[in-house]
């Protein structure tokens, strides 16, 4: 889907390697949601019952097709990447064979940071985040990413969980005709661009900074 879009400069199509990493992250997240992990149970509560049941009985083919969506299936919008100074300590990202929510968040942040360096628009679209979020993420190093993944894993959410019917359609992608499959993925991309309203405190701070610049 991305390859068909001929973007220039920051709007160029993603590389095959980026798409493979994206699909791998999405696959890991779907495996996590279908596991018996206590964090997964909390996230499943945000999805409609049909989607919950489908996630528990996904075949590898169904999981792989859903994972090929051109955006992150885990929402990182609630993750705070601004000025994190947390110490990752001896935190281990890789625990056991099953993907953990910490690992999924770490991989998501790592991919978005790489894209923020060279494809800012793609990073915003994949993650459903704004330019300021991407700018802050781009300045973090690996230990900071690990610290955020450790401290904020509970903030990860299934993307577009509040949109009725989206997840059941997404999980059926392997059974859909190509035209319908593209429509589901296009809808997901459009929803990624619907950013939440600016929090009052951030808006107030922005206005204050603008006022100071004018008065200076």
Question: Can you give the pLDDT of all 216 residues of the chain as single tens digits?
Answer: 444 333 344 456 678 899 999 999 999 999 999 998 888 999 999 999 999 999 999 999 999 999 999 999 999 999 999 865 555 555 565 566 667 899 999 999 999 999 999 899 999 999 999 999 999 999 999 999 999 998 999 999 999 999 999 999 999 999 999 999 999 999 999 999 886 544 433 443 343 344 444 444
d(CA 92, CA 84): 18
Q: What is the pTM of this model?
A: 0.82
> And the tokens for 58?
């996904």
Question: Any residues with CB less than 8 A from the CB of 47 and at least 6 apart, and which?
Answer: 55, 158, 161, 167
CA 74 to CA 158: how far, in whole Å? Answer: 5
């Amino acid at each position: 889907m991305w390859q068909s879009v001929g973007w220039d400069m920051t709007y160029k199509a993603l590389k095959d390697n980026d798409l493979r990493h994206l699909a791998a992250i999405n696959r890991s997240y779907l495996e996590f949601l279908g596991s018996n992990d206590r964090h997964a149970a909390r996230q499943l509560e945000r999805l409609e019952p049909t989607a919950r049941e489908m996630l528990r009985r996904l075949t590898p083919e169904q999981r792989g097709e859903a994972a090929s969506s051109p955006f992150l299936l885990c929402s990182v919008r609630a993750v705070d990447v601004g000025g994190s100074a947390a110490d990752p300590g001896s935190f281990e990202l890789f625990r056991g064979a099953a993907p953990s929510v910490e690992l999924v968040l770490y991989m998501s942040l790592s991919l978005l940071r790489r894209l923020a360096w060279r494809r800012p628009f793609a990073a915003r679209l994949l993650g459903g985040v704004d330019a300021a979020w991407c700018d802050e993420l781009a300045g973090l190093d690996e230990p900071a990413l690990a610290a955020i993944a450790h401290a904020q894993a509970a903030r990860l959410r299934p993307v577009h969980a509040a949109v009725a019917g989206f997840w059941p359609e997404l999980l059926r992608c392997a059974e859909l005709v190509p035209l319908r499959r593209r429509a589901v993925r296009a809808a997901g991309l459009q929803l990624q661009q619907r950013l939440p309203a600016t929090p009052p405190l951030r808006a107030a701070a922005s206005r204050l900074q603008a006022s100071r610049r004018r008065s200076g």
